[in-house]
Amino acid sequence: MGQTITEKIFSDHAGHTVKAGEIIKCHIDMVIGNDITTPISIKAFEDSGAKKLANPDGFSIVMDHFIPAKDIASANQAKISREFAYKHDMKHFFDEKDMGIEHALLPEKGLVVPGDVIIGADSHTCTHGALGAFATGMGSTDLAFTMITGENWFKVPEAIKVVFSGKPKPYVYGKDLILEVIRLIGVDGALYKTLEFTGDTIQHLNMDDRFSLCNMAIEAGAKNGIIAVDEITKEFLSDKKLARKPKFFYSDEDATYSQIIEIDVANLEPVIAYPHLPSNGKSIRQAVADDLEVDQVFIGSCTNGRLGDLRIAAKILKGQKVARKTRLIITPATQKISQQAQKEGLVDIFIEAGAVFSNPTCGACLGGYMGILGKNERCVATTNRNFIGRMGDRTSEIYLANSAVAAASAIKGKITDPRDL
């Protein structure tokens, strides 16, 4: 029988042919830590007696959750990572001087390469599967093991093949596709499995859409999300100095899948995930009918804080004003995205509309800072999770949506179909 992309990547790294269900140990190409999770890894590393990193060039620390520091505790926590990075003269340490959300910054820097095995102490590490790599989140002590050995253990996951067909309608993006998948199979429908995204729809998705798609694979319980490399991927990589030579893997026609899901994208409307699960998806028409007023709109995060998202929002917001009782916060995913948004005049559009344009940070997404919700407040967010208390008070509500729906909702002060503007 043939192999899936994920099985082939693991076979390449393990040095022998592997199949789903096998327990293997393999080399890790890139380890990703952040200001919240890395201090735990550092403590485990130092408690082990280790003196040096097994693969210094394969370890990145990205200060992105509470940077610049929001309080004394976060400042002291960040200090641990900084001191470790300076002590080990880390090549890939990203602080305020070159900041960004890790899952947007590393692809931008060429540190994520097709064919890689990547782990990070952040559940949304699966984002990097959009570049044809195996990428998954692990615990901080798992990271410490790789920091010490350069390797880690895995159970090779079974795969679910998701076949998207048709060209998406206007205002339907990668975010809507993954919300539809999660709506269909639930938050545990792909537990410890690969979600392999295929079909003719993929050719209509730019890299921003693909990153969004793979980013939320974890919200269906998946071990990883992955998309095979094509010309669009290669174009994205063409202007980057890649950290390693890419390897392109493709699933065999006779590869084994535990399930095949087929979705007709041509008939898909924008999808809204109601509180309090990403699987609670409803059509935009249902949300409009429910006449849901919103206190805050947030456009950003590792899911939808890329340049394409800002362009989508700016196109809708140009010449408009944010509703009087609604707050709009827009957070670019990296400094480079922020700079480009300024060059294109997008930031002027946002500010003139009444939005707050912030520095790159994960802050509001996890209820950290720069956008926390109060009691009974309702928010439309382009983030990936809408659990109880995720962005603030436990009585607040989060509705997950794409950037167009978010921008339109900010203008009207209630959940709005952008096609109605």
Give yes or no for a contact between 218 and 124, defined as CB atoms under 8 angstroms apart: yes
For position 347, what pLDDT does the model report? Answer: 98
The two tokens of residue 108 are 């931008």
The two tokens of residue 365 are 């997404």
Q: Tokens 């439309």 sit at which residue? A: 380
- How buried is residue 387: exposed, middle or buried, by Cβ count under 10 Å (0-12/13-18/19+)? middle
The 3-state DSSP class for residue 97 equals helix
- Phi/psi of residue 11, nearest 5 degrees: -60, -45
The strands making up 259-264's β-sheet, listed across from edge to edge, are 224-226, 193-198, 158-165, 259-264
The two tokens of residue 330 are 């827009």
For position 373, what pLDDT does the model report? Answer: 96
Domain boundaries, the chain: 5-263, 270-420
Q: Tokens 């097994």 sit at which residue? A: 54
Q: What is the mean pLDDT of the chain?
A: 96
Question: Is the pLDDT score of 75 beyond 90?
Answer: yes
CA–CA gap between residue 412 and residue 421 (Å, rounded): 9
For position 186, what pLDDT does the model report? Answer: 96
Share of residues in the chain with pLDDT > 90 (%) = 96
**Mean pLDDT, residues 105-115:** 97
**Mean pLDDT, residues 332-354:** 97
Instruction: Characterize 72-110 residue by residue with b for buried, 16 or more Cβ atoms within 10 angstroms of its Cβ, and e for exposed.
Output: eebeebbeebeebbeebebebbbbeeebbbbbbbbbbbe
The CATH superfamily holding the domain 270-420 is Aconitase, domain 3 (3.30.499.10)
Distance of CA 100 to the CA centre of its chain: 13
Question: Is the pLDDT score of 421 beyond 90?
Answer: no
- For 271-382, strand residue ranges (E) read 271-273, 281-283, 296-299, 327-330, 356-357, 378-381
For position 29, what pLDDT does the model report? Answer: 97
278 preceded by cis ω (within 30°)?
A: no
For position 110, what pLDDT does the model report? Answer: 96
The 3-state DSSP class for residue 25 equals strand
- Phi/psi of residue 380, nearest 5 degrees: -95, 125
What amino acid occupies position 210? R
Question: Is the pLDDT score of 1 beyond 90?
Answer: no
For position 102, what pLDDT does the model report? Answer: 95
**Mean pLDDT, residues 383-410:** 96
What amino acid occupies position 246? P
CA–CA gap between residue 276 and residue 152 (Å, rounded): 34
Q: Can 5-263 and 270-420 be said to share one CATH topology?
A: yes
The strands making up 356-357's β-sheet, listed across from edge to edge, are 281-283, 271-273, 397-400, 378-381, 296-299, 327-330, 356-357
Which CATH number describes the domain made up of 5-263? Answer: 3.30.499.10
The 3-state DSSP class for residue 30 equals strand
**Mean pLDDT, residues 271-300:** 96
**Binning pLDDT at 50, 70 and 90, where does residue 343 land?**
very high
CA–CA gap between residue 415 and residue 273 (Å, rounded): 12
Instruction: Characterize 293-329 residue by residue with b for buried, 16 or more Cβ atoms within 10 angstroms of its Cβ, and e for exposed.
Output: ebbbbbbbbbbbbbbbbbebbbebbeebebbeebbbb
For position 111, what pLDDT does the model report? Answer: 97
- pLDDT, one tens digit per residue, over 163-182 is 999 999 999 999 999 999 99
**Mean pLDDT, residues 186-211:** 97
The two tokens of residue 260 are 């095949």
- pLDDT, one tens digit per residue, over 15-71 is 999 999 999 999 999 999 999 999 999 999 999 999 999 999 999 999 999 989 999
Question: Is the pLDDT score of 261 beyond 90?
Answer: yes
The 3-state DSSP class for residue 347 equals helix
The two tokens of residue 271 are 């999808």
Share of residues in the chain with pLDDT > 70 (%) = 100
For position 331, what pLDDT does the model report? Answer: 96
Full DSSP string of 176-241 = HHHHHHHHHH-TTTTTTEEEEEESGGGGG--HHHHHHHHHGGGGGT-SEEE----HHHHHHHTTS-
Nearest Cα to Cα of residue 275 among 390, 143, 160 = 390
For position 38, what pLDDT does the model report? Answer: 96
For position 57, what pLDDT does the model report? Answer: 95
CA–CA gap between residue 337 and residue 104 (Å, rounded): 10
For position 280, what pLDDT does the model report? Answer: 96
CA end-to-end span of the chain, whole Å? 52
The two tokens of residue 209 are 């859409």
